[in-house]
Amino acid sequence: MIENGRKDDTSMEALYFLTPSKQSVARLIGDFGGSLSSQNQRAPGGRGGYGAPPASRQPVKYRAAHIYFTSELPDNLLALVKGSGITPYIKALKEMCIEYDVSGSRVFLTKLVDRPFYRLYSPVVVRGFNDELEVISKKLANVCGALKENPVVRYLLLDPETHGDTKARPLAFLFHTEMERIREVLPAADDDASRRKSPTELIIVDRSADPFAPVLH
């Protein structure tokens, strides 16, 4: 775990396998004596103002870093890495796009860590709704990217007056946006069999419209 204390060894190169979060990036930067760009900006006047001396640089833990993120690293976090002063230590930085669990040869789970059904459908939870759907859309795009599929998206659209606010439509649009970002890197068909292959369909349904499915599953 990157948050655990580790012994410095500048004779070794370190392999990092990280989630693309600000906390992970901050720990990574700290391991190589860098600082977040926001920490370098000092407020005028008083303690920590323009006249305050800069914070002392932390010692470097390792000789170099090979960094692998489990999913796409957002531009703002990549900017933090670039502006931290640790780029000379980075020998590799790759995005693996593997934020899903394989449960079988044809079953992929993209569940969130903590009570996703409650966070999406509970009337008590009123914040973070779009953030949850964005995470789900990224996980779905990870699966399609790993399978080298570029699916046609179909989603459940119900009468909101009868079924309430369903999640299928906004998730479908978020997924489409994510796939647009990785569409260019998906390999094109290079043989007749691939060209004759029927297009894959991704069907997004909303379990809130079916009260029996949660019980059956």
Q: Tokens 């914070």 label which residue?
A: 55
- At residue 158, the pLDDT reads 74
Lowest mean pLDDT among 15-19, 29-33, 51-55, 108-112: 51-55
Render pLDDT for 111-154 as a digit per residue (tens, 0 to 9). 665 666 777 777 776 666 677 788 888 888 888 887 878 888 98
Domain boundary among 42, 60, 95: 95
Identify the three-state secondary structure at position 90: strand
Looking at the structure, do residues 113 and 71 belong to the same domain, yes or no? Answer: no
Residue 159 lies in a domain: yes
User: Phi and psi of 102, rounded to 5°?
Assistant: -95, 115
The total of structural domains in the chain comes to 2
Q: Tell me the one-letter amino acid at 79.
A: A
Q: Tokens 């703002």 label which residue?
A: 76
Shortest CA distance to 92 belongs to which of 168, 36, 9, 28? 28
Looking at the structure, do residues 212 and 184 belong to the same domain, yes or no? Answer: yes
Length of the chain: 217
Looking at the structure, do residues 23 and 117 belong to the same domain, yes or no? Answer: no
Please, which pLDDT band fits residue 16 given cuts at 50, 70 and 90? very high
Q: What is the extent of the structural domain holding 15?
A: 9-95
Looking at the structure, do residues 131 and 151 belong to the same domain, yes or no? Answer: yes
